[in-house]
Structure 1
């Protein structure tokens, strides 16, 4: 199996990035994988941020343990959305596939094996849009025999895809007159917050690349693979991240068993019970509760 390149997007948190890289290196596939790191530039108006970004750059230059490490440092601040869209395109169009990470994630020892297994098995299955390493805590039916399941809305917390899927996304939302009529259907497909996030990108007050990726998945009626037990935990809810608060409505169980052989579904379809359980985190009631908790914390 040819291992997919790994891409990490970093910014101004050296300690978080060190944790991310350390956990990756606990995966034995890391030493056979190429690593690409993109570090965004500091924001001029943020006091002390240049020093933090420089600390990240210094650390990045010291990273070893992978097959090869390539870094790209942005002179100015692009923001996460633009950084990911440009960075992923650069790597994925060269290698045909990629595993994409951010600097606040910590990975199980079998994360890379799961991701590469999924990329290999479903590469020619056009119904599959992405492979996700993170999963919310879900209720698993007693008779369910697989270590993974399919769901509609992809996760941006440790994921992978192929060049043809990535290049099918309308990043500019060019056909907005048509898209604007799909709000209800998009929310039903991916959760009650989907269309508002998509509209925020079009109107310029949002920057989410992930919602555009998800919208393309919705338009094409494709699915994403998720593990039953999460191979990823997000340590970004410490109040220091650009896009995360100090509290999260998302709950998970972290994979500690290290099992590297995953039994993946042969049929690419939704299990209704698993799908309902996974999507329950995106209901209006849960989101309202989440907003209250953001204020408290």
Structure 2
């Protein structure tokens, strides 16, 4: 098992401009020349994706012959794997990587990285590998204001971010049951689990309802449920190592363009340093006085979503019925 430098896994389909920015920012990272990169190019589910998919495939053929990584391995799907767990494009490539590594870094194709992104995640993986409390090392962090007394360059949180994260396969084994929709349904029916999720992960509760509606498992919501209910934590950098450029209406989870949200993400300041050293405090909890600047959300739409979500949650928990209304 290779455990010195974690491989990077990137999933993609047809967004050439996003993917190009993602991969080429990764090439500029410290440790890129020591890193194996796996790209899982899914097959187009319909003709509307084919033109973009073809351009991306041609770009990858060129990059396979000239790149700055230790290795660039491109897996081209012969059929559409999609995003549905547990047989999605992402889970399939992660399963392949597991054959040769004990850890990995995951990103979708719409993230761009700071020069020290790989350094932060690799050092985090090594530093916390024997700490059972830590499940993920997250590269992205919201713009934040920390109290003056907070001197460390990282912190521990029950929040999680899917925008460029790292984990260990040994620890991920414990999460697998959360990728099962029947198991997630039971969490909402169980009083103790439901109350804990509502207290600490309210948005995840409504996400589970949406998963039940669509018969699909969202990996980030499943992992969020696990972190909350199993009392686990994520490691975050004080300054983000990732910028997300995909909230422009082109992605699976971003089907309509929100200019305020897009501006928020594109204008976010990220770390420009090429190196990173963890400060001394090994278990630095999220500061109580921390101010988290979250992205703007349309008030009317969010109010409507919450109302429908509450109705759907009530109907499911008390009558085992979920309407097919769509609010996300």
Name 1:257's counterpart in structure 2.
272
Q: Which moved more, 1:175-184 or 1:51-60?
A: 175-184
In structure 1, the residue corresponding to 2:131 is in which secondary structure? coil
Q: TM-score, normalised by structure 1?
A: 0.87
Q: Is 1:66–2:77 an aligned residue pair? A: no
- TM-score by structure 2 length? 0.79
Cα distance in 1 for partners of 2:274, 2:199 equals 35
Counterpart contact for 1:132–1:159, Cα < 8 Å: yes
Task: State the 1:287 CA deviation.
Answer: 5.3
**Counterparts of 1:255 and 1:287 in 2: how far apart (Å)?**
22
Summarize the Cα distance change of 1:184–1:281 in structure 2 as closer, same or farther, 3 Å threshold.
farther
Aligned pairs (5 A) from 1:146-225: 146-169=152-175, 170=177, 171-176=179-184, 178-180=186-188, 181=190, 182-190=193-201, 192-225=202-235
Structure with greater Cα Rg: 2
Q: 1:200 to 1:85 in 2, by over 3 A?
A: farther
Distance in structure 2 (CA, Å) of the matches to 1:204 and 1:240: 20
- Range moving further from structure 2, 70-79 or 98-107: 70-79
- Check if 1:241 corresponds to 2:256: no
Match of 1:84 in 2: 90
Shift of 1:198: 1.8
* Paired position in structure 1 for 2:313: none
In the superposition, relative to structure 1, how do residues 186 and 281 fare at CA in structure 2: closer, same or farther (>3 Å)?
A: farther
Q: 1:224–1:165: structure 2 CA closer, same or farther, 3 Å change rule? A: same
C-alpha displacement at 1:292, in angstroms?
A: 6.2
SS of the aligned residue for 2:107 comes to strand
Aligned to 2:39: 37
Supply the distance in 2 between the matched residues of 1:187 and 1:134 (Cα, whole angstroms). Answer: 24
Q: Which runs of 5+ in 2 are unaligned?
A: 304-328
Give the C-alpha shift of residue 23 in structure 1: 0.5
Deviations 1:188-240 (A, max 9, x none): 223x3111112322443544111112212222210001111111000002222
Distance of 2:183 and 2:20 partners within structure 1: 41
Tell me the residue number matched to 1:135: 141
More divergent stretch after superposition (220-229 vs 193-202): 193-202
**Inter-partner Cα distance in structure 2 for 1:85 and 1:277:** 34
Give the one of 227, 241, 257 matched to 1:231: 241
User: Which of 268, 274, 291 is the aligned partner of 1:277?
Assistant: 291
Query: Secondary structure of the equivalent of 1:225?
Result: strand
1:230 and 1:290 map into 2 onto residues whose CA distance is 30
Instruction: Tell me by how many angstroms 1:62 deviates.
Output: 2.1
Q: CA deviation at 1:36?
A: 0.4
The 8 Å contact of residues 24 and 107 in structure 1, kept in 2 or not, is answered as yes
* Cα root mean square deviation, aligned: 2.7
Measured after TM superposition, the shift of residue 84 of structure 1 is: 1.8
- The offset of 1:174, in angstroms, is 4.0
CA contact (8 A) 1:232 1:254 kept: no
With over 3 angstroms needed to count, the CA separation of the structure-2 counterparts of 1:177 and 1:202, relative to structure 1, is closer
| Aligned residues between the structures | 287
